[in-house]
Structure 1
Amino acid sequence: MSGPAILVVAPMPAFPTSAGNRRRLLTTCAALQRGGYAVDLAYYAHEDQIYRRFGQHPPTDEAAAAGLFRHIFRIEPPATIPLTTRSRCFAIDDWCPEAVGAFVAWYGRAYPETRAILMNYVFLSRALEAAPPGVLRLIDTHDRFADRQQQYRPFRAEPNFFYTDRAGEAAGLARADIVLAIQSEEAAYFRTITDRRVHLLPPRFATRRPFAAPARVKRIGFLGHGNDPNLVSIRRFAAAWSEDWTPARPELVIAGEISNSLGPTAGPGVRLAGYLPELEDFYDGVDLVVAPILMGSGLKMKVAEALSFGKPVIGTALGFEGFDPVAPAHRLPTAEAVKAEVLALADDAAGLAALTRACADLFAGYNARAEQAETALLAMLSVSDGKPSEAAASVAPATANDSDRVVTFLEGGRLNRETSLRSDLRDDPERGLLVATERVAPPGADPYTPARRRWFARAEEGKTERRQDEAGSPDAGLAGLRLALSPEWVRDRRLPPPLRADLAVQLADVAADWEAQAVRVGTAGDGTTLALTLPRHLAFGTHPHAAFRIGTPTREITLGRVTPLNTSRIPMYSSAYISAYTSARADLPGAPAAVTFAGLGAGPEASTILFLHDDLIGRITVLPDPVPSPEPLP
């Protein structure tokens, strides 16, 4: 028997819980499950796209989610999510494509017994308009987004997350029956812009460790995701901490994904611990946690998490917003004040004991309010539901098929394909290094299944020629597929050159993200210079990449200099050949450039270059010499 069903839609995955919004998602779903509801989770793969655009493998674990929820689904973004806008702010629906509403409509038909739909973030609220009649609609706001960009101005920074105005936020909230606020200040604000029911729902945190006061402080810690508020805040604090640090003072340990955004080196007294898969490894290694937060909204989940591990915390008033702080150490004005408070207490056993008691009282009061809020929410849902009924499993989504494995033998190794939920896997001892993931559901599967086909490459000694694969095909069958490359494979060059070249052959006929024609305009030594149009960000910046000349033999070539061209001032560069550039993606506008490759060769024959960068695939057709009459790209 299962309880009534609730669909939860989120633009972030549930696992791994490496960011505050993921912890919020899990705590809210856990509250619903404690209330007897069967929770289905639909991940709109917004964050996956963002990570890939910044050259990182997305930290998403679909297999872990499958173990927690009744059903899981995946909604692929149909287009590029804009991170900036030329308008004063984003319109409320700029980040919500019709694909999310189409999924909600499909789900309503497939699971008509569903009682409620909970949409995470107001910028996805448009999808609630597709909810079937009679279904309760909720929005978990997470943050206030009206005028959010103004927080960045004192720090001379530009936001790269959603922000809107009061009218837009009000319009989004009006689509819900119940609006969930994460902390009291934001609940009060939402009540001024909407007549919908606003319910304060702080997340509950189970006690992981009892509070224990340190006798002295040897190490202080900050654990966080690499978002803008965290980066601005910890950079300011770390700079202040290093300024006059001596070995007699505590060490600052910075851990989590934010470590990757702070550069390879840290200042005196600061250690970057990187991403730690187990939270215990971090909290057991520090005596005190700092929350020197200077900007941002919502509830600082890192504070609640540190308290749940029994750690005393010192931070700014903004860092403790929503916790109803009383102690002065929880209401400090600046990062410098946080530093001063830490140093004042570092060797003060009595002061540390008092701080720890204040933190224990704060956490107990916070959790009591969170538990009351959860009980009230479940009561509201129960009234809306009427009598609970069993949730029927109308349509079972496709599941992972770990037995669907195909091996293609290549020169110097093998290419292994599997269909699974193992989305977090980058390097497997058996399969090898992740090369690419299909962007859409496997053939014949439900369109919203999170299972994907993935290809892994593994080097093997003694493999010097291709052999027929186990499926009876001489190649991996990648032609025409829409693939997302693994940025790590492109960047790290761990695989031997013959295997990398053979992988390029396998990828040569996949669906390219962009295509261009090029003409030779010069040679010097081993270098050949081409004139062409390529994605603008490649013309004006350096990105990890790999380039291969496809042919007999296929070989990896080296990108040298890239020089943007002003075609209006140089007529020979304004020909149709150079402007022959196509891309289906709005975030890949073209820019003319002269590009020099070493190892391409200077022969007059036509050739093809496979250009791999970030998670994208580009295909350059080098026209033969002499240049024929203009022909459009196919």
Structure 2
Amino acid sequence: MESGTVPEIAIARAERKVPVGAAARRASGKLNVLYFSPFPSHPDNHGNQATIQAFGRRFREMGHQVHFALLQSRLYDENAVALMQNAWDSLTIIPNDLRLWSNGTDIPFDAWYEEGIGERIRLLCAKYDIDLVFCSYVFQSKLLDYVPEHVLKVIDTHDKMGGRYEMLRKNGQPTEFFSCTPDEEGAYLRRADIVVARRAEEAEYFDAVTGRASAIVIPHVEEPRPLDREFTDLANIGLVASANQINLAIVLQFLQAVERRTEAGHPPFYVHIAGQVRDMIRALPSAKAEMFMKPWVKLLGFVPDIGEFYSSVDLVVSPVTMGTGINVKTVQAMAYGMPLLATAWGSKGIETEEPMHNHQDLDTLVDGLFCLAKDPNRLSALAEVSRQRYRAFYEDSNRAMEGMFSAARGREETSIA
């Protein structure tokens, strides 16, 4: 045992052989997955929750059992717990007293990990005979040290966290959520056998900071569900934004760009904003809050059925001007076969050659919006681009996911009674 190594970690590292029962199950291709998340999977009112739901649902569609381990927090209520219990094969809430929050100051390595989580994960691995642990985000990856060596350990990164605060400051955005140095990110990620990235360029970065070729790309997995409708008019624009400071700033900047482009009074369309970003407007200075009160802006708040929202609009806008990972709302709009107008940032990870998906800033994006308002006949072609691109994207994501589970099945061929 290395000096200072916790006994439970040393034992986990020594557990290299697969029990006979697990070996037979892995040979059948139907695995037991422990899905750890610091955030609830339900409801899907944030992009990360939509991704967690989509991944877990896809795991089950592939025939695997999903045991969901959720970190205790104030981010869910009894209704959300009931939804999660119904969605997964089991739900375990892991005690936690830490608040996952920062004001932009440096976060020490492993500071968001609470001692005892790893030991509880180890017990769940034994209880449910786990074959693969799927850990959301890097900042609690220490729990993977407690996972038996014969179990495949995967980190789903969601985003690139190395230098994130610096990136936000450079773009004039508030420093919220998590950030670390690239060296720290490499140390977090080296605890996993496989690192899941959202984009190829981020996979390359993860391999660079870990010094390993362990990263794969699984952007998002959601069944294609193109709407059966025609797109002949542009009267209603759709935009989806969950409650965080970056989304609030981006939506405000988009509305300001529309206002600048409007010659007099009312633009030739309404902008419908879905998502809980609405709840943050009251905290804005009155001059900024007034932009959301324009007669052509419709604030809907959380919408329980995103498909109904897409059915009610003629075009979806993704005005992202910065960030990492993949924009889930862009991907989701394409899954529904919606005409899409996006910045180059908004379409990262699901890029196309379509000029309307590659605007370099909000002013050119809004110019494109007004051009489409004058010539809505282009909407049908944009909808077809979404449908075709998403089909290929979905197939690529599924192939990568199959590869991940193949690695779990072949983790160790030697078994013990």
Q: 1:341 offset after TM fit, Å?
A: 0.6
- Alignment match, 1:170: 186
Q: Give yes or no for contact 2:316–2:333 (8 Å, CA) kept in 1.
A: yes
Q: Give yes or no for contact 1:13–1:60 (8 Å, CA) kept in 2.
A: no
Q: Partner letter of residue 391 of structure 2?
A: A
Q: 1:182 offset after TM fit, Å?
A: 1.6
SS at the partner of 1:90? coil
1:341-356 equivalent positions in 2, closer than 5 A: 341-356=368-383
SS at the partner of 2:411? helix
Q: 1:297 offset after TM fit, Å?
A: 1.1
Of 78, 95, 98, the match for 2:97: 78
- Alignment match, 2:21: none
Q: Deviations over 1:63-112 (max 9, x none)?
A: 111112111011232234441354xx32331111113223213323433x
Query: Relative to 1, partners in 2 of residues 1:384 and 1:109: Cα closer, same or farther, differing over 3 Å?
Result: closer
Q: 1:36 offset after TM fit, Å?
A: 2.4
Q: Give yes or no for contact 1:256–1:275 (8 Å, CA) kept in 2.
A: yes
- Alignment match, 2:162: 146
- Paired with 1:177 and 1:164, the residues of 2 have a C-alpha distance of 21
Q: Deviations over 1:283-309 (max 9, x none)?
A: 121110000001221111101111122
Of 249, 252, 272, the match for 2:271: 252
Query: Relative to 1, partners in 2 of residues 1:374 and 1:116: Cα closer, same or farther, differing over 3 Å?
Result: closer
Q: Partner letter of residue 198 of structure 1?
A: A
Unaligned runs of 5+ in 1: 52-56, 389-634
Q: Give yes or no for contact 2:339–2:380 (8 Å, CA) kept in 1.
A: no
- Alignment match, 2:149: 133
1:561-572 equivalent positions in 2, closer than 5 A: none
- Alignment match, 1:241: 258
1:10-159 equivalent positions in 2, closer than 5 A: 10-46=37-73, 48=74, 61-84=80-103, 86=105, 89-111=106-128, 113-159=129-175
1:420-431 equivalent positions in 2, closer than 5 A: none
SS at the partner of 2:325? coil
Q: Partner letter of residue 95 of structure 1?
A: W
SS at the partner of 1:192? helix
1:582-601 equivalent positions in 2, closer than 5 A: none
Q: 1:272 offset after TM fit, Å?
A: 0.8
- Paired with 1:337 and 1:151, the residues of 2 have a C-alpha distance of 23
Greater share of helix: 2
1:325-336 equivalent positions in 2, closer than 5 A: 325-336=352-363
Of 322, 326, 332, the match for 2:349: 322
More displaced stretch, 293-302 vs 347-356: 347-356
Q: 1:118 offset after TM fit, Å?
A: 1.1
SS at the partner of 1:314? strand
User: Percent sequence identity over matched residues?
Assistant: 25
Q: Deviations over 1:212-258 (max 9, x none)?
A: 45212001011121123322211110122234364351111111111
Query: Relative to 1, partners in 2 of residues 1:59 and 1:301: Cα closer, same or farther, differing over 3 Å?
Result: farther
- Alignment match, 1:182: 198
May I ask how many residue pairs the two structures share in their alignment?
378
Q: Give yes or no for contact 2:317–2:341 (8 Å, CA) kept in 1.
A: yes
Query: Relative to 1, partners in 2 of residues 1:380 and 1:122: Cα closer, same or farther, differing over 3 Å?
Result: same
Cα RMSD (Å)? 2.4
Runs of 4+ in 1 over 6 A off after TM superposition: none
SS at the partner of 2:374? coil
Q: Say yes or no: does 1:221 pair with 2:248.
A: no
SS at the partner of 1:170? helix
- Alignment match, 1:282: 309
Q: Partner letter of residue 232 of structure 2?
A: A
Q: Partner letter of residue 66 of structure 1?
A: Q
Q: 1:142 offset after TM fit, Å?
A: 0.6
- Paired with 2:390 and 2:116, the residues of 1 have a C-alpha distance of 41
- Paired with 1:116 and 1:354, the residues of 2 have a C-alpha distance of 42
Query: Relative to 1, partners in 2 of residues 1:59 and 1:299: Cα closer, same or farther, differing over 3 Å?
Result: farther
1:475-494 equivalent positions in 2, closer than 5 A: none
Q: 1:58 offset after TM fit, Å?
A: 5.4
Q: 1:8 offset after TM fit, Å?
A: 0.8
Structure with the larger RCO, 1 or 2 (CA within 8 Å, 6+ apart): 2
Query: Relative to 1, partners in 2 of residues 1:282 and 1:387: Cα closer, same or farther, differing over 3 Å?
Result: farther
- Alignment match, 1:366: 393
Q: Deviations over 1:390-421 (max 9, x none)?
A: xxxxxxxxxxxxxxxxxxxxxxxxxxxxxxxx
Of 10, 16, 32, the match for 1:5: 32
Q: 1:321 offset after TM fit, Å?
A: 0.4
Q: 1:324 offset after TM fit, Å?
A: 2.4
- Paired with 1:6 and 1:129, the residues of 2 have a C-alpha distance of 17
Q: Give yes or no for contact 1:43–1:74 (8 Å, CA) kept in 2.
A: yes
- Paired with 2:135 and 2:371, the residues of 1 have a C-alpha distance of 45
